């Protein structure tokens, strides 16, 4: 197929000259270029890019000293905090593979990911580790490193902070490892095309958690695709540095919405999420952006930080913006410094988009689209006023093709026709870890078959009209109904059930179960929710149970989820 460039931004290159550099190069390049620029603000702690680089080298030396080898998986079980960034770049530098563990996962889910990945090393938080400590002997983990939010506070500021450092027996202390090692890690040769950088887990369309294999080339390419999408530059490798090249007469500080080494972003998107790792860590570091980092989202704290830190960009799932816009006094905030607002991970309702455009009237509000199987993203609206299309997730980014095919026959469809979204580009994964059959189902002739339903318009803009089968999106997190249904089926009173998402203005969707009880079976809604919610992560918990005399099924016995959703919405 021929890519549609009819609406391509003027003066933007059509293809990028990607450097063959490993992911940790982003930090090295920026630290050499602007060592004294602030990289991270965190609860009063400030790190420059030069300091972040030295701390990363120290921790990389420590990890190598522990015997962590190239190709070995290391799990990071942390919220957003400086230690996450330090550990991420350190483990990549010694050739290890990053596997993120969401703090929202249940012990059962953590057990699966640690076991499936074969991770021998775990980095966890002192507040989180006790919740999973009991399952560690059931996994391949041989060493546990812990750290604390309290480690980020010096003695003077510590009395103002709520969290101190908690002792975690029988674990290695990250700060001590950094303190006791010099910034002299071994040089490890990285084949960017073959060596894995990420092994991130996604439920896919079946609800079975699978490891997505991403090479350094996959991750670096996607980082640069989105970085250059925002700054409109071409890449040029000069010696050991990567330069940004602009057309004659272009002043990036005036003519682009994003300019390297000048921006400040509020970062609350979790770094353990694909959008966080690529878009709000690597992309920020590559661009020399100052990151104001939050371990959790508090609307008042976040809103206050906009002016306090002179933020120029915001980003996150739609559920970030709902409480922000509805916060008392929000209309009185000075938002004039915000130039770019990004939304992804879930559909952005038109009503919320319109409210954001009114509130951030001097900003460009853009939606983007992607999935873990393509590192992070494949399409994005142009960061140019008048070039965005409401309801669309934008154009395929650099060197990326998107097509729709008939979900049954696989035949390519014309613009305007709805079908399965397929993606081809340098960011597409290598496959699922240890699952060749599952890989073959979604990777065909270089195309990633996403399972998402959508269409392209005549200008090449992409619209997502349905979601991966029955996927529920709660605050940007994937909730797979099958997992909840299987737990419900284990209850002795349940005959049939179906779990669907109920639209919610704050959360996006809430998991709701329709339950048909067995003849003579008895159970209350509260009993069933308790039965399920103790076995799943916090974001997967059932919020409602609806009893029905008969769960609708097709002739093949498949639950008709659309009918259940219609019952919730009155459609």
Tens of pLDDT, residues 530-551: 999 999 999 999 999 999 999 8
Q: 88-105: per-residue pLDDT in tens?
A: 999 999 999 999 999 988
Structure tokens belonging to residue 332: 């009185």
Question: Taking residues 203-227, what's their average pLDDT?
Answer: 85
Question: Taking residues 24-36, what's their average pLDDT?
Answer: 97
Is the model's pLDDT at 468 over the cut of 70? no
Question: pLDDT band for position 31 (50/70/90)?
Answer: very high
Using an 8 Å Cβ cutoff, are 317 and 508 in contact?
yes
pLDDT of res. 204? 42
Identify which of 402, 381, 398 has the alpha carbon closest to the alpha carbon of residue 390: 381
Q: What is the DSSP string of 362-375?
A: TSEEEEEE--GGGS
pLDDT of res. 478? 75
- CA–CA distances in Å: residue 342 to residues 14, 42, 80, 303: 22, 21, 19, 16
Alpha helices in 24-118 (DSSP H): 25-33, 49-65, 82-93, 107-117
Q: 72-87: per-residue pLDDT in tens?
A: 999 999 999 999 999 9
**Diameter over CA atoms, the chain:** 78
pLDDT of res. 354? 79
Is the model's pLDDT at 139 over the cut of 60? yes
Phi-psi region of 203 (alpha: psi -120 to 50; beta: other; left: phi over 0): alpha
Using an 8 Å Cβ cutoff, are 182 and 61 in contact?
yes
For residue 38, the surrounding DSSP H or E stretch is strand 38-42
Q: Hey, is 499 helix, strand or coil?
A: strand
Structure tokens belonging to residue 257: 């919405």
Of 91-95, 97-101, 127-131, 476-480, give the lowest mean pLDDT range: 476-480
Question: Taking residues 97-126, what's their average pLDDT?
Answer: 95
pLDDT of res. 467? 63
Using an 8 Å Cβ cutoff, are 450 and 371 in contact?
yes
**Other Cβ atoms closer than 10 A to 502:** 18
Using an 8 Å Cβ cutoff, are 239 and 187 in contact?
no
Using an 8 Å Cβ cutoff, are 406 and 419 in contact?
yes
Q: 251-270: per-residue pLDDT in tens?
A: 999 999 999 999 999 999 99
Q: 317-339: per-residue pLDDT in tens?
A: 876 787 788 788 888 888 889 99
Q: Hey, is 348 helix, strand or coil?
A: coil
Question: Taking residues 448-465, what's their average pLDDT?
Answer: 92
Q: How far apart are the first and last CA of the chain?
A: 38
Q: Hey, is 401 helix, strand or coil?
A: strand
d(CA 539, CA 544): 14
Give the residue, 153 or 449, on which the prediction is more confident: 449
Give the residue, 357 or 46, on which the prediction is more confident: 46
pTM above 0.95, yes or no: no
What is the C-alpha radius of gyration for the chain, rounded to an integer number of angstroms?
23
Question: Taking residues 483-496, what's their average pLDDT?
Answer: 86
Per cent of the chain over pLDDT 70 is 96
Question: Taking residues 129-154, what's their average pLDDT?
Answer: 96
Of 55-59, 180-184, 292-296, 562-566, give the lowest mean pLDDT range: 562-566
Is the model's pLDDT at 291 over the cut of 80? yes
Domains and CATH numbers, the chain: 25-432 (3.40.50.12780), 472-569 (3.30.300.30)
d(CA 157, CA 147): 18
Q: 175-202: per-residue pLDDT in tens?
A: 999 999 999 999 999 999 999 999 999 8
Query: What one-character DSSP code corresponds to residue 321?
Result: H
Structure tokens belonging to residue 109: 């889910």
Is the model's pLDDT at 208 over the cut of 80? no
pLDDT of res. 289? 98
d(CA 405, CA 241): 41
d(CA 552, CA 525): 19
Beta carbons within 8 Å of 229's beta carbon, 6+ residues apart = 12, 380, 382, 383, 397, 398
Structure tokens belonging to residue 299: 């609307």
Identify which of 566, 567, 524, 569 has the alpha carbon closest to the alpha carbon of residue 545: 524
Using an 8 Å Cβ cutoff, are 312 and 263 in contact?
yes
Using an 8 Å Cβ cutoff, are 121 and 145 in contact?
yes
- Residues across the chain: 571
pLDDT of res. 556? 39
Q: Which residue in this structure is represented by tokens 């939050």? A: 294
Q: Hey, is 523 helix, strand or coil?
A: coil
Q: 435-444: per-residue pLDDT in tens?
A: 999 999 999 9
Mean pLDDT over each residue of the chain, to the nearest integer: 92
């Amino acid at each position: 197929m021929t890519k549609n460039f009819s609406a391509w931004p003027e003066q933007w290159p059509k293809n990028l000259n990607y450097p063959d550099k490993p992911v940790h190069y982003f930090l090295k390049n920026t630290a050499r270029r602007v060592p004294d620029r602030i990289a991270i603000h965190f609860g009063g702690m400030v790190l420059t890019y030069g300091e972040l680089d030295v701390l990363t080298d120290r921790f990389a030396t420590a990890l190598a000293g522990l015997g962590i080898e190239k190709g070995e998986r290391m799990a990071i079980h942390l919220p957003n905090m400086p230690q996450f960034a330090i550990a991420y770049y350190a483990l990549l530098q010694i050739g290890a593979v990053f596997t993120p563990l969401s703090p929202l996962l249940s012990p059962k889910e953590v057990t699966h990911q640690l076991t499936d990945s074969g991770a021998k090393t775990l980095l966890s938080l002192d507040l989180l580790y006790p919740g999973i400590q009991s399952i560690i002997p059931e996994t391949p983990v041989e060493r546990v490193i812990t750290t604390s939010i309290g480690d980020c506070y010096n003695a003077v500021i510590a009395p103002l902070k709520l969290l101190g450092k908690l002792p975690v027996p029988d674990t290695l202390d990250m700060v001590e490892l950094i303190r006791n090692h010099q910034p002299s890690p071994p040089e490890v040769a990285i084949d960017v095309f073959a060596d894995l950088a990420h092994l991130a887990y996604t439920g896919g369309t079946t609800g079975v958690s699978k490891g997505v294999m991403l090479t350094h080339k996959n991750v670096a390419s996607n980082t640069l695709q989105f970085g250059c999408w925002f700054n409109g530059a071409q890449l040029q490798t000069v010696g050991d540095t990567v330069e940004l090249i602009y057309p004659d007469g272009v002043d990036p500080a005036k003519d682009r919405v994003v300019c390297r080494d000048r921006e400040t972003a509020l970062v609350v998107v979790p770094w353990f999420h694909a959008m966080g790792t690529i878009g709000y860590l690597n992309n920020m570091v590559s661009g020399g952006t100052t990151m104001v980092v939050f371990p959790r989202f508090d609307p008042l704290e976040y809103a206050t930080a906009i002016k306090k830190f002179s933020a120029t960009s915001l980003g996150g799932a739609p559920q970030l913006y709902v409480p922000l816009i509805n916060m008392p006094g929000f209309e009185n905030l000075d938002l004039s410094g915000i130039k770019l607002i990004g939304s992804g991970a879930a559909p952005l309702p038109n009503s919320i988009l319109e409210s954001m455009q009114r509130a951030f009237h001097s900003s460009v509000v853009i939606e983007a689209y992607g999935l873990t199987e393509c590192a992070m993203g494949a399409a994005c609206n142009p960061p140019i006023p008048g070039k965005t299309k409401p309801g669309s997730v934008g154009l395929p980014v650099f060197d990326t093709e998107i097509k729709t095919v008939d979900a049954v026959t696989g035949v390519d469809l014309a613009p305007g026709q709805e079908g399965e979204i397929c993606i081809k580009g340098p960011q597409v994964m290598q496959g699922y870890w240890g699952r060749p059959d599952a890989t073959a189902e979604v990777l065909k002739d270089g195309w990633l078959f996403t399972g998402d339903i959508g269409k392209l318009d005549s200008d090449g803009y992409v619209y997502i009209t349905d979601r991966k089968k029955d996927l529920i999106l709660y605050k940007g997190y994937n909730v797979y109904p099958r997992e909840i249904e299987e737990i419900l089926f284990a209850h002795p009173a349940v005959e049939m059930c179906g779990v669907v998402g109920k639209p919610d203005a704050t959360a996006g969707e809430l998991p709701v179960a329709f339950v048909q009880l067995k003849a003579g079976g008895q159970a209350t809604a509260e009993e069933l929710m308790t039965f399920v919610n103790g076995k799943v992560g916090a974001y997967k918990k059932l919020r409602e149970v609806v009893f029905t005399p008969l769960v609708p099924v097709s002739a093949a016995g498949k639950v008709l989820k659309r009918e259940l959703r219609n019952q919730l919405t009155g459609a």
